[in-house]
Amino acid sequence: MNIHQIDLNRLKEFETPFYYYDLDLLNETLDRAKAAADKRGFHVHYALKANFNDKVLGLIQSKGFGADCVSGNEVQKSIDSGFPAQQITFAGVGKSDKEINLALDHKIFAFNVESIQELLVINELAAKKQVKAQVSLRINPNVDAHTHHYITTGLDENKFGVPNSELEKAASVLRECGNLELLGLHFHVGSQITDINVFKSLCVKVNEWKNWFEERGTTIKVLNVGGGLGVDYHEPDTHPYADFEAYFEVFDKFLERNAQQEVHFELGRALVAQSGTLVSKVLYTKSGVKKNFLILDAGMTELMRPALYQAFHKIEKLGAEPNAEELNYDVVGPICESSDCFGKEVPLPVSERGDLIAIRTAGAYGEVMASKYNLRDEIRFVFSEDL
């Protein structure tokens, strides 16, 4: 159920702040994504880092998605949530020995390896266990994702992946490592990508590197193109679903591959963002010298994206009368930091203590990035089915 359809008095029964998850919307989003991928024979691993709330994860697992993990704990969480090990990928520039061993023990589908040194370490640890680790080599394709610089990952200046200049060496290391099996290549250029041409550019690079390896006699079975599909933070109700059809179609059209080659994706945000809303209460209103402040009981500790990336989230007053008089507010939280601000000069219906405020499109990188700073409460959540 959309947050605006819920009876305000019912919502007020829950202690704020809390994340509200619209499971109907999540369900429909997952079905659309899965159908668009299945139609083209594509494999989608859900990037757990976007949201690992148990119920959300359970629903995603039940739809047959794989899991994309970036820590040993995420690998374990995926296993515990029922994702088959053979559908789990493990990425990240800094995998510890403990995490690698855990993933080896679970016999996961693939390590997305980010450096030559990491190849050698996985080989050594796999040798000790007398197993073979399946790996995909993460290549830094130097494609500009045209997104916020903090969430751009595929440029030469970023720490991710093996740079082009080292690929020759990586290929020879792979040939020498008896306990590694090269599955294929992995790419990820950034997050919240709304320009579909970025994915087209990525396809061009993937084709180039696939050919490069094949010309050297290496079989490439898996092409993992990462995640990054963006969502509409400005109009969540007009565009509640990302355009999965258009997204997958670009890869279908522009990725060169043979019948044996699999295409894998790691989507996070586009699957979960629109189904989450942070619901908060107005604690105080304050008219400063130059500003009107709306002081909420949620802060950067519950939703860090605005403070960390100056990210935009649509802010709405719940239960507002149509055509109500509006004021421009700086919507801030209670945390002792000036960056604890959800939006500046936000036009909102005149609000008062006790009003409920919705901060939309918070289902991805919201709850999972919550912190205990200022010794805040554990984050709370409410599901549409609880109402």
Length, in residues, of the chain:
387
Active-site hit among 69, 177, 203, 336 = 336
Given the complex with ligand LLP, which of 268 and 343 has the nearer CB atom? 268
Cα–Cα distance, 204 to 114 (Å, whole number)? 21
Among residues 27 and 194, whose Cβ is nearest to ligand LLP?
Answer: 194
Q: Is 267 annotated as a binding residue?
A: yes
In this structure, are residues 188 and 141 in contact, taking their beta carbons and an 8 Å threshold? no
Site string for ligand LLP, 85-114 (x = CB under 6 A): ------x-----------------------
DSSP 318: T
Judged by CB under 6 A, the residue of 66, 154, 228, 299 near ligand LLP is 228
CA-to-CA separations, 58 to 42, 53, 345, 381, in angstroms, rounded: 21, 8, 39, 15
257 annotated as a binding-site residue:
no
Residues 6+ apart with CB under 8 A from 304: 365, 369, 370, 371
Strands 326-332 and 341-349: antiparallel
Q: Is residue 227 within the footprint of ligand LLP (CB under 6 A)?
A: yes
305 labeled binding residue: yes
- DSSP 8-state assignment for residue 322: T
Q: Does the protein bind ligand LLP through residue 313 (CB under 6 A)?
A: no
Closest CB to ligand LLP among 122 and 267? 267
Using alpha carbons, select from 307, 303, 295 the residue that is nearest to residue 362.
303
Residues 6+ apart with CB under 8 A from 149: none
**Residue 264 makes contact with ligand LLP by CB under 6 A:** no
Binding track, positions 319-358, relative to ligand LLP; x by CB under 6 A: ----------------------------------------
Q: Is 228 flagged in the annotation as binding?
A: yes
CB 272 within 8 A of CB 350: no
Name the residue nearer to ligand LLP (CB basis): 150 or 284: 150
Find the binder of ligand LLP among 22, 68, 99, 118 (CB under 6 A).
68
CB of 192 to ligand LLP, least distance (A): 6
72 contacts ligand LLP (rule: CB under 6 A): no
Contacts of 18 (CB under 8 A, 6+ apart): 278, 279, 379, 380, 381, 382
Taking the CB of residue 28, how many other CB atoms lie within 10 A of it? Answer: 15
Distance CA 114, CA 187 (A): 10
The reply to whether 266 sits in an annotated binding site is yes
Give the residue, chosen from 269, 313, 314, 360, that forms a contact with ligand LLP under the rule CB under 6 A.
269
Say whether 57 sits in a helix, a strand or coil.
Answer: helix
Contact 181, 126 (CB under 8 A): no
DSSP state of 155: S
Window contacting ligand LLP (CB under 6 A); options: 5-13, 161-169, 224-232, 376-384: 224-232
The answer to whether residue 336 is catalytic is: yes
Rounded-to-integer distance, Cα 374 and Cα 108, Å: 38
Establish if 47 lies at the interface with ligand LLP (CB under 6 A): yes
Residue 248 makes contact with ligand LLP by CB under 6 A: no
Residue 371 near residue 336 (C-beta atoms within 8 A): no
365 annotated ligand-binding residue:
yes
Cβ 264 to ligand LLP shortest distance, Å: 10
269 is in an annotated binding site: yes
Which of 52, 65, 244, 365 touches ligand LLP (CB under 6 A)?
365
Strand bridging mode 43-47 / 110-113? unpaired
Pick the binder of ligand LLP from 44, 100, 151, 242 (CB under 6 A): 151
Is 174 a binder of ligand LLP (CB under 6 A)?
no
Contact stretch for ligand LLP (CB under 6 A) within 26-34, 226-234, 242-250, 339-347? 226-234
Number of residues binding to ligand LLP, judged by CB under 6 A: 21
Contact by Cβ (8 Å): 198, 152: no
Dist CA 240 CA 234 (whole Å): 11
Distance CA 32, CA 243 (A): 9
**Which residue numbers belong to the known binding site for pyridoxal 5'-phosphate?**
228, 266-269, 365
Residues tagged active-site: 336
Q: Which residues bind ligand LLP (CB under 6 A)?
A: 47, 50, 68, 91, 151, 153, 188, 191-192, 226-229, 266-270, 305, 309, 365
- Return binding residues: 228, 266-269, 305, 309, 337, 365
